[in-house]
Amino acid sequence: MAMKVTVIGLGYLGATHAVAMAEMGHQVIGIEADSKRLSALQEGKLPFYEPGLDEALARVIASGKISFKSGHDEDSRDADVHFLCVGTPQVTGSYAADTSYLFSAVDALAPYLSPTAVVAGKSTVPVGTAKTLTERLSKGAGFAAHLVWNPEFLREGTALEDSLRPDRIVIGVPSGDDHSEKVMRSIYEPITNGDTGSPAGQTPFLVMDVATSELVKVAANSFLATKISFINAMAEIAEASGADAVRLAEAIGMDARIGSLFLRNGIGFGGGCLPKDIRAFMARANELGVGSAVDFLADVDAVNLRRRERVVELAKRELGSLTDKRILMLGAAFKPDSDDLRDSPALMVALKLAQAGAHVVIHDPMALHGIKDRYPQLEPIEDVFEAAKGADIVVLGTEWKFYRELDASKLASVVSGKTVIDGRNALPYQSWQEAGWKVIALGRNLENA
Ligand code: UGA
């Protein structure tokens, strides 16, 4: 049954969720306080790059299923569900998550909330946040508000696909709140009954207590971060012993208990989620008096950051001093198929190389916007062969398909030094070697390969 929903906060998560809800047939009001972001969406433009989402946005605007506003008005009163999708960034100078946007969101919603409406939090939060939000919202509304937690597991680059055909749906419901559970089951029916292309009747719908549902998200992201840092730790061992971390990952990943995904070693994880989530988890565990339970996440973070340094070490090993050396960084985004620069390993490595004295030229198929103004120490160039002219060394920081398919011979003809550091283990190294390149890949000894 089509329902009416508001989606509060239209960043990556919110904009995707709003479009997905409208694609499922629900009537959606998207609420965004940032005027630039709002007017872009009203004009049918996405304020970020996400494959397939722009077409979907155009579709749901044309079908009249979605509208965008700067705040709630009378139209919000009869919504069945209000989704909270605002950001929970890292507090400056601390590991903790800043939940203030969530509190502002419920304060703004309270006057428009109906007693039967369900508020569903989707943002990633420290465990315990939902309880405090419920108290605050109930006080503001003047009745016991229905608030559930509904963590989101979408990945940038495959956000719409992940939203319409998720691995599972998780809902944290306060005990005895059967009404909320019923509403949430009904809102996700297009997924569970197969209308969105998900296998009918097979998407697990997990109902649990609220605290567990909050933890599921941070635990999942912490596990993923740990898996990446584990293979990066193995890469450090491999580099010291002449072993090959890529072959190692292949071999251990074939054990079904381990699994091969998220075992790609390189310059590590970045983005708006994994790095800040493991830090917020450590901060929250400390508050709960069980900090030592997740002490290992400090090592996960440390291994991750060391791999960025490793590229600088390798560049110095190859070039000696980096002063006045020209380095081409291939990639700026934190992962391919995204233009997100938040805590991007590629961008951070580029900045470190510049700090070490190099002249760093940076290229990315999608994410060069804003680099010139925000990072004047880097030189963004849009044409890759132009960018490569005279480079003493090339570094791969983001494994875009574009780079994997790059003409290595043509690139070799314009650079000054034919050495490439593959920070993502993504280049077809044999064809690069055939084109005359010395290929250095993190965690590998290609002479032994
Ligand atoms: C991550 C989670 O994967 C999503 O499930 C979650 O919903 C999301 O955070 C979130 O909390 O909102 P995302 O940040 O889009 O999604 O990116 P990932 O695909 O998880 O990649 C994170 C980083 O890890 C990237 O920098 C990527 O290059 C790196 N990575 C990934 C590796 O270095 N090695 C790997 O094997 C896999």
Task: Give the per-residue SS3 of the chain.
Answer: CCCEEEEECCCHHHHHHHHHHHHCCCEEEEECCCHHHHHHHHCCCCCCCCCCHHHHHHHHHHCCCEEEECCCCHHHCCCCEEEECCCCCECCCCCCECCHHHHHHHHHHHHHCCCCCEEEECCCCCCCHHHHHHHHHHHHHCCCCEEEECCCCCCCCCHHHHHHCCCCEEEECCCCCHHHHHHHHHHCHHHHCCCCCCCCCCCCEEEECHHHHHHHHHHHHHHHHHHHHHHHHHHHHHHHHCCCHHHHHHHHHCCCCCCCCCCCCCCCCCCCCHHHHHHHHHHHHHHCCCHHHHCHHHHHHHHHHHHHHHHHHHHHHHHCCCCCCEEEEECCCCCCCCCCCCCCHHHHHHHHHHHCCCEEEEECCCCCCCHHHHCCCEEECCCHHHHHCCCCEEEECCCCHHHHCCCHHHHHCCCCCCEEEECCCCCCHHHHHHCCCEEEECCCCCCCC
Residue nearest (by alpha carbon) to ligand 1 atom 17:
155
| CB 51 within 8 Å of CB 11 | no
Smallest CA separation from ligand 1 atom 6, residue: 153
Provide the whole-model pTM: 0.96
pLDDT of residue 445: 87
Residue 267: which of 304, 294, 292, 239 has the closest Cα? 304
Gap from CA of 224 to ligand 1 centroid (Å): 8
Mutate-to-test residue for ligand 1 from 53, 273, 279, 398, highest number of ligand atoms within 8 A of CB:
273
What pLDDT is recorded for position 448?
60
Q: Which residue has the least CA distance to atom 8 on ligand 1?
A: 155
Decide if 86 contacts 14 (C-beta within 8 A).
Answer: yes
Distance from the alpha carbon of residue 247 to the mean position of ligand 1, in angstroms: 22
pLDDT in tens, the chain (449 residues): 899 999 999 999 999 999 999 999 999 999 999 999 999 999 999 999 999 999 999 999 999 999 999 999 999 999 999 999 999 999 999 999 999 999 999 999 999 999 999 999 999 999 999 999 999 999 999 999 999 999 999 999 999 999 999 999 999 999 999 999 999 999 999 999 999 999 999 999 999 999 999 999 999 999 999 999 999 999 999 999 999 999 999 999 999 999 999 999 999 999 999 999 999 999 999 999 999 999 999 999 999 999 999 999 999 999 999 999 999 999 999 999 999 999 999 999 999 999 999 999 999 999 999 899 999 999 999 999 999 999 999 999 999 999 999 999 999 999 999 999 999 999 999 999 999 999 999 999 887 65
User: Atom 29 in ligand 1: which residue has the minimum CA distance?
Assistant: 269
How many angstroms separate the alpha carbon of residue 278 from the centre of ligand 1? 12
Ligand 1 atom at shortest distance from the alpha carbon of 274: 9
Annotated active-site residue in 147, 273, 322, 427: 273
Decide: residue 323, CB within 10 A, 0-12 exposed, 13-18 middle, 19+ buried. exposed
What is the 97 CA–ligand 1 centroid distance (Å)? Answer: 18
Nearest CA to ligand 1 atom 10: 273
Ligand 1 atom closest to Cα of 335?
A: 28
Atom of ligand 1 nearest to the CA of 221: 2
Distance, CA 274 to ligand 1 centroid (Å)?
7
Find the 206 Cα to ligand 1 centroid distance in Å: 23
Cα 167 to averaged position of ligand 1 atoms, centre (Å):
15
Q: Is 99 exposed, middle or buried (0-12, 13-18, 19+ CB in 10 A)?
A: buried
**C-alpha–C-alpha distance, residues 271 and 275, integer Å:** 7
Structure confidence by residue, pLDDT tens digits, 286-318? 999 999 999 999 999 999 999 999 999 999 999
Of ligand 1's atoms, which has the minimum distance to the CA of residue 155?
15
- pLDDT tens digits along 146-203: 999 999 999 999 999 999 999 999 999 999 999 999 999 999 999 999 999 999 999 9
CA nearest ligand 1 atom 30, residue: 269
For a substitution probing ligand 1, which of 215, 274, 343, 425 has the most ligand atoms within 8 Å of its CB? Answer: 274
Ligand 1 pocket by Cβ (under 6 Å): 124, 152-156, 221, 224, 228, 262-264, 266, 268-271, 273-274, 334-335, 345
C-alpha atoms less than 13 angstroms from C-alpha of 320 in its C-beta half-sphere: 1
85 is catalytic: no
